[in-house]
Structure 1
Amino acid sequence: MLSRSLQSLLGLSLSLSLVEAAQIPFIAPHETSTSAVPFAGLENQSDNWDINVSPNENATGHLIFETVSSFMQHWPNTRYRNGHNIVPGIVPVGTVLYHGRGDSNTPTGPEWLATDPEHSYIFCRGQASTGCWQLTVTALRPLNVLYLDGSGAAKMPDGPMDSQDVLAFGEIIPEKYIAERERIKNMCQWAKDFPVDGFVRMEMDFEIMLCDFSDGVQVEPINLRSRGNSGGPDSEFYPPGPHPYDDTSFAQLDINSSALPNTGFEVIHSGSWHRYYPGDTRIQLDLTRLISFYDTELVPSLVAERLGKDRLKHRLLGISQEDLQNAVKRIEEATTATEPGSGIDWKTLIQLVIKRFENRLEMVQYILNSTSPGNSNIQIQLVAMLRPYMLSTTKPTQDLASTEWVSPMFKLCATTYTKYITANPSLHSRLTASEELILGGVHETTREICRVVTGMWVDGVMAGLDPDLYKPSTTEGLVETEIESLLASWKERISSLMKWLDWSVWLKCRPACGFEELCELPMWPFRRGTDEFEDPQPKCIRRMAPFDSSWV
């Protein structure tokens, strides 16, 4: 029979600490422009440091945290192709970009640029006898761009184009997912009223929709060897004539051709160079001007649209006209904003949180999923995560059913990365509204990690796994049923936490790919099966001949 203390704690933990894997949301912070007092949000709520209080089911702070941590990285934005953020940034002076075409002319209107030549080369069209053309386009001044996360160049009707529709059409129009020429024309028309030179989005690799090739860039045409093996037109990928993004010719796209699979694979290969943090650093984002459609204060109408849906199904369809107009106004303000912000390096701060917990949480899950998990090994991992926060005064009280004794430790763990901001009125007052949003996301994420891990550690302590703190009254130690209950509780909580966090670093090919292979996710326009985009999962594909023709 379970000891009374362990039985009480495990029952409480199982009933109250499980979290939903869907969005969990975010209590918006106060406006810094009207207050200089220290942060008065989540941290100061009276029940905030009770390890048995889980996040609100509509919270989005952890989603803001995860999407910001994934900016300009190919891997996470391939899995979650429906972007929810728009961020101003610059393309630095001297950055070389590429534009493939059928002639040597400089575009006189908006066109697409690739960040890597492998991506541009599939648009380099011509005959074997005359070759094809690739323009190298170099930035002569910083180019002002807006980055749209997700896979914004995936021509699919189920959400990747939503954030572009906001600017291009003023509403979400799924049936226009293929209307690329109209989209770039409308977006660049909108950009004329603001200091915006183009838009950054992701396809097999990153690309820029550049509005004007006569302003701020130097263009040099290069005549390259064509992919064609005969005197006939090189039509394996795109036919000669109009640009393939023209609505009338785009349907002729045949990037799945097995005739030249190495060309298709090299586009995937170049995109993989920017797979993980720091991603493609040639576009430098300004997080102090971030606009997120996960901001429940800016776009409350999407809260009900997301409720109960898996994150893969999140999109902007269903946004109210009022919220859409407010979002556009915020985007327009962001393009001209001059506030310097706080100076906090948010990218590094977020990565510090991920690096601290990613491997250890994964290790705990691995041990719990093994055939013979050792409860002492798990407790060792929990202690390793929590050691910097274990105050000398942290120890159980005589009331064995209470967990209040661990609240100071829980609070220190959860606020370690944000306390210097929230406790400093001068620094906190300099945060922009976008930085407040990121701050809330960091705080919500660290709070839930620390809440779950601390709760698991407490159960281990009360089970006698840390005898210096607590020794159960029974001299025999844990019986088999108690061990099973403890392990089941731990396994459920760690799985729920990792599913809720949903960090892309845990999405891997298992087992790992061999040297002649590349771990890859399904991406538009490559297809491996009819339902692969419903829940994209990684798979090893060959990076040497013979290539997998079903992929490229």
Structure 2
Amino acid sequence: MNMHLLQGVLSVLIPLLVTPIFVQAKPSAQIQFTYAPSSQLLATSYNDWDLLRAPSANSTGQWIFDNANSFLKLWPNTRLRNGHSLVPGVIPTGTLLYHGTDANQLPNEPEWASVDPEHSYLFCSVFNVKECWHVTLVVTSPLKILYLDGNGAAKMWGGSMDSQDILVWGGIQPNRTFDEYPRIADMCKWGKDYGIHAFVRMEMDFEVMLCDFTTNLEVTSLLRLKSAELGISPHPAAFEPDRVLEAGHWHDRYPSEQRIKLDYTRFISFYDTSLFPSLNLHRKGQERWDHRLKDITPDELDTLHKTLAENLRGEDWGVPRSGVDWPTLLMTVEQRYSERLSVLRYILLDLAIKPERKLEDVLKQAHRHIRDMIRPYLLEFVHPTHSSRRSGDPQMTSDLQWAAPAFEECATNHIRYLEKPSVFSRLSHSEKLLLGATRETLTEICRVLVGMWAEGTERELSGHPGSHLSREDSSSMTGIQWLNLADSWRSRTQGLMDWLDWSHWATCQPACSFEEMCSLPTWPRFKHWPQPVPNENNTEHIPQPGPDDDWYHPTPKCIRRME
């Protein structure tokens, strides 16, 4: 090729190869970001962000947060079977529901349906062994439902049916535990005024209490199926491997049971102290498993029904009013911290597993892990001053106030927009309750994590394992001071996890094999489940659990899912 020609071609191609090509009709507007300099941020008052101030003993925000984050998830509602929320919602058009029966016709009165055929099949193949008729229904127009959380179909003592009892019978009725047909009839009668088509509660899987099998529903099939021909036994081994439990486990955790859509803008929580203050008084000293609704007052019952009447009327049933995706916000917070708190606890417990490890190295590793958890909130100017550095003894604490800006950023980052007056004013009471619960939950998580990070930063624990501490006050720490610091961090980490009480941490340890599944004992699959014995005053006599009983405080265990 002619050299001059080659040079000419290259002079055209080279700029094209190294220069990006943009096709743009006109310059676009640039978004300008505002930036507050460190001097301005330092001048901000952080007096409300006290890293040494623990939450109130009367706090219920963490329970409201976890309760709402557990809606339509089988695992947490099996673990904590006593429900504390009522939530309106819809079952959308096109959703399939299933009903097992011994008759080749639809029920002409309120009856039960299931979201999974494994569950409904049980009621025609096991309990009615002569004929098994299995109905598949499709929703032709949205069904208006009221969801009752917890394990509301567990027909036993202790509170699992409290919310149903007070909703339609005005108080706890332990002598009517097995009055299921009067219960569903009275619930449907009560719900008729609000246009409720069904109620949703949970057994081994989620069930739908249908008030009318012909309203907004159409039969797609009515089949006679082979019976399983199993005997009836309360012992769980008689049903293993159990396909109903297996189907229920599909909805154990996120994304929960998606065929039912809940309206978080209209939910009622019995942990709402503004509506039900007396219930909180009776919870003092109780474990969360034992929280009940039996002490609700007549005035609070009146408040309940007035609030329900306000929430359940209107044409926009089941349509969230603000547009805020509350389930995703709650899930995001839990996912951000649940697994990493588990890892932090493991690191701090590593000393017991590997005693040969140096205490200093373990604490450095924990400090780096904490720093990674809160790194998005560690502003450039946040660092200890010389006067804030400690002598090394955890009991000789500074106020950690220099770390308050990171504390605030961590606690408010996810909810700052929702707290803007223009947005906050549009939220319903239920949403404001959720927002407050989320803020309370984030505040305590961030208080503990930022506090430990700040303590470690004052002691220069950011170094790598085996590195020497550069600060004179840190390098002079004694063995007992290292031990005190480790004990303090371990205690605060476990204390935070106990306070949050997320069911994410209730797992089988060690993990189950492939042929097994991790399961929580659930009604009626307990080893023993003696019935409550109401006296003439209609109060429960709850039997004390024996050493081999698994119905009280269910503990995860591995059960077989293969023969």
**TM-score normalised to the size of structure 1?**
0.82
Q: For 1:413-452, list aligned pairs within 5 A.
A: 413-423=410-420, 425-452=421-448
1:45 CA displacement: 11
- Residue 506 of structure 1 corresponds to which residue in structure 2? 505
Structure 1 residue 53 corresponds to structure 2 residue 53: yes
1:227 CA displacement: 2.1
- Give a deviation string over 1:202-225, Cα, whole Å, max 9, x none: 000000000011211112321111
- Residue 551 of structure 2 corresponds to which residue in structure 1? 533
1:139 CA displacement: 0.8
The aligned amino acid for 2:161 is M
The aligned amino acid for 1:86 is L
1:101 CA displacement: 0.9
1:543 CA displacement: 0.9
- Which range moved further: 470-479 or 192-201? 470-479
- Residue 224 of structure 1 corresponds to which residue in structure 2? 225
In 2: Cα distance, 1:319 partner to 1:174 partner: 15
In 1: Cα distance, 2:339 partner to 2:64 partner: 21
The aligned amino acid for 1:193 is D
Structure 1 residues 130 and 83: CA distance shift in structure 2, 3 A: closer
Structure 1 residue 544 corresponds to structure 2 residue 557: no
1:397 CA displacement: 2.5
- Give a deviation string over 1:227-252, Cα, whole Å, max 9, x none: 23xxxxx7x34xxxxxxxxxxxxxxx
In 1: Cα distance, 2:175 partner to 2:503 partner: 30
In 1: Cα distance, 2:71 partner to 2:309 partner: 20
- Which range moved further: 522-531 or 160-169? 522-531
- Residue 247 of structure 1 corresponds to which residue in structure 2? none
The aligned amino acid for 2:337 is F
- Residue 278 of structure 1 corresponds to which residue in structure 2? 255
The aligned amino acid for 1:204 is M
- Residue 153 of structure 1 corresponds to which residue in structure 2? 153
- Residue 369 of structure 2 corresponds to which residue in structure 1? 381
1:174 CA displacement: 2.4
1:92 CA displacement: 0.7
Q: For 1:241-260, list aligned pairs within 5 A.
A: 254-256=233-235
- Residue 518 of structure 1 corresponds to which residue in structure 2? 517
- Residue 482 of structure 1 corresponds to which residue in structure 2? 481
The aligned amino acid for 1:407 is A
Bigger CA radius of gyration: 2
In 2: Cα distance, 1:392 partner to 1:478 partner: 28
The aligned amino acid for 1:376 is K
CA contact (8 A) 2:154 2:524 kept: yes
Q: Matched residue of 2:452: which SS?
A: helix
CA contact (8 A) 2:125 2:226 kept: no
CA contact (8 A) 1:464 1:477 kept: no
- Which range moved further: 508-517 or 478-487? 478-487
The aligned amino acid for 2:115 is T
In 1: Cα distance, 2:277 partner to 2:127 partner: 54
The aligned amino acid for 1:535 is H
1:399 CA displacement: 3.2
Give the alignment partner of residue 366 of structure 1, picking from 341, 346, 358: 346
1:127 CA displacement: 11
CA contact (8 A) 1:449 1:497 kept: yes
The aligned amino acid for 2:377 is Y
CA contact (8 A) 1:62 1:444 kept: yes
Give the alignment partner of residue 328 of structure 1, picking from 293, 305, 327: 305
CA contact (8 A) 1:102 1:126 kept: no
Q: For 1:78-97, list aligned pairs within 5 A.
A: 78-97=78-97
In 2: Cα distance, 1:377 partner to 1:466 partner: 8
In 1: Cα distance, 2:128 partner to 2:145 partner: 36
- Residue 5 of structure 1 corresponds to which residue in structure 2? none
- Give a deviation string over 1:382-408, Cα, whole Å, max 9, x none: 100111111111111343223211111
Give the alignment partner of residue 291 of structure 1, picking from 250, 268, 271: 268
Structure 1 residues 319 and 361: CA distance shift in structure 2, 3 A: same
- Residue 354 of structure 2 corresponds to which residue in structure 1? none
CA contact (8 A) 2:103 2:131 kept: no
Tell me the percent identity.
43
The aligned amino acid for 2:224 is N
- Give a deviation string over 1:28-69, Cα, whole Å, max 9, x none: xxxxxxxxxxxxxxxx99853000111111111110110111
- Residue 142 of structure 2 corresponds to which residue in structure 1? 142
- Give a deviation string over 1:435-490, Cα, whole Å, max 9, x none: 0010011000000000001111111112221479x954347443211210110000
CA contact (8 A) 1:87 1:285 kept: yes
Structure 1 residues 54 and 190: CA distance shift in structure 2, 3 A: same
Gaps of 5+ in 2: 1-43, 352-356, 389-397, 529-545
CA contact (8 A) 1:78 1:523 kept: yes
In 1: Cα distance, 2:516 partner to 2:237 partner: 18
CA contact (8 A) 1:166 1:328 kept: no
Using CA pairs below 8 Å that are at least 6 residues apart, which structure has the higher relative contact order? 1
- Residue 177 of structure 2 corresponds to which residue in structure 1? 177
CA contact (8 A) 2:203 2:523 kept: yes
Structure 1 residues 360 and 130: CA distance shift in structure 2, 3 A: closer
CA contact (8 A) 2:460 2:474 kept: no
